[in-house]
Chains A and B, each alone.
Chain A
Amino acid sequence: MHNTADTLVWLTIFGAAAVTYGLRIGGLLLASKLPKTGRFKRFMDALPGTILLSLIVPAALAAGPLGWIATLCTALCSLKTGNIFLSMVVGIVLVAVGRGYGF
């Protein structure tokens, strides 16, 4: 019994690892076969920002009023100062303090 459970654990972990690594290296190797100018380039240039933004939008929307304020302050701080660490700390401290006061 124990052995079967252990096998499943390692199958899951290495399955997830193989899939993730395949995507990482696959993206890089496929990219060299794609065009590097015009619309496609603008598409690729925009991707980093739009992917990161998409990653957070649902979680930020679900964070409630306190989370919205904290997200807005983090965003403004990042835009104005360019200091990524400071901007994160602003957001996390706002949420921690806000919750401390029962929001």
Chain B
Amino acid sequence: MNSRSPQLRDLRAGFAANLVVSLSVGAYGSVLGLMAAQKGLTWYQLLVMNLSVFAGSAQFVMVDMWVPPLPVAEIVLAVLVINMRYLLIGASLNPLFQDTRLGHKFVFMHLVADENWAMTMARFHKAPTTTWFLLGGGLCVQSAWCLGTLSGHGLGAVIANPERYGLDFSFVAVFTALVFSFWKGRRDILPWLAAAVGAAIAETLLPGKWYIICGGIAGALTAAFAPGKDGGDA
């Protein structure tokens, strides 16, 4: 029974597929490291946060709110709201995790980030893909995240004006490039328009990061109820 080999192959493929996106993960990670150093987080506190929370935008908000005495409840609640999308992300991964054991799910889900999730879903539509591809990507993104944040923390003084080099824009650039890999054609026009408008309106009306959930759901609802040509169900 040589069952390890295809798993290793998928692990490697997942790692490799996320290498390029991880460059930008490292780039905006260095900005977080810089901010964290200014807020007085030690490098090992930042490392533990990376390994245990492992969510970019949530960690940015955590560091932003990092003013002693730490408002523990407010920070945790903010993280809950920002990361609410992981409920939906987790649910969307269900087809990939079919026929896996509960323990497998509990281990593999920890390393799900936006980037390796997006890469995995994009590949899942085209080729047979296992959870090992997802994990390989997660390991790649996690490594880049740690390297980026810690070097940002260590070299705080080197990049004095990260915005001068467009690094603050890297978040938008990264996700804009990623989102259009999900474009499936004209039938996406209406749902995507609904998502964009929904997110923009929710962002002005609601506090925090609720706009991510609102826009995402508005768009997906539009897809569900739009008179689709290739829906096939009534």
Binding site for B on A (CB under 8 A): 5, 8-9, 11-17, 19-21, 23-32, 34, 37-40, 42-61, 63, 67, 70-71, 74-75, 77-79, 82, 84-85, 87-96, 99-100
Contact = CB atoms under 8 A, between A and B. Distances in A.
Given A9-B45, A92-B169, A75 B220 contact: no
Nearest to A13: B49
A92 B169 CA distance: 6
Interface of B: 20-21, 23-24, 27, 41, 45, 48-49, 52-55, 57-58, 62, 68-70, 72, 75-76, 79-80, 83-94, 97, 105-106, 109-110, 112, 114, 117-118, 121, 163-167, 169-184, 188, 191-192, 194-196, 198-200, 203, 211-225, 228, 231, 233
Q: Is the interface of B mostly helix, strand, loop or mixed?
A: helix
Q: Is the interface of A mostly helix, strand, loop or mixed?
A: helix
Nearest to A96: B166
Nearest to A34: B91
Contacts of B89: 24, 27, 48, 51
Contact of A27 (B53, B91, B106): B91
Given A42-B223, A43-B220, A24 B112 contact: yes
B86 to A, nearest CB: 4
Nearest to A5: B68
B69 A60 contact: no
A96 B173 contact: no
Nearest to B115: A84
B92 A78 contact: no
Contact of B23 (A37, A58, A74, A85): A85
20 contacts: A5-B70, A16-B52, A24-B110, A27-B86, A27-B89, A27-B93, A29-B105, A42-B220, A46-B220, A48-B182, A49-B184, A51-B89, A53-B192, A56-B175, A57-B215, A79-B180, A84-B20, A85-B20, A92-B27, A96-B164
A32 B94 contact: yes
Nearest to B65: A12
B223 A20 contact: no
B212 A51 contact: yes
Contacts of A94: 166
A44 B192 contact: no
B38 to A, nearest CB: 16
Given A53-B199, A78-B176, A88-B173, 6 more contacts: A27-B93, A39-B224, A49-B179, A54-B195, A54-B214, A75-B179
Given A20-B86, A57-B215, A78-B180, A52 B53 contact: no
Nearest to A23: B86
A38 to B, nearest CB: 4
B23 to A, nearest CB: 7
A30 B182 contact: no
A48 B118 contact: yes
A5 B176 CA distance: 39
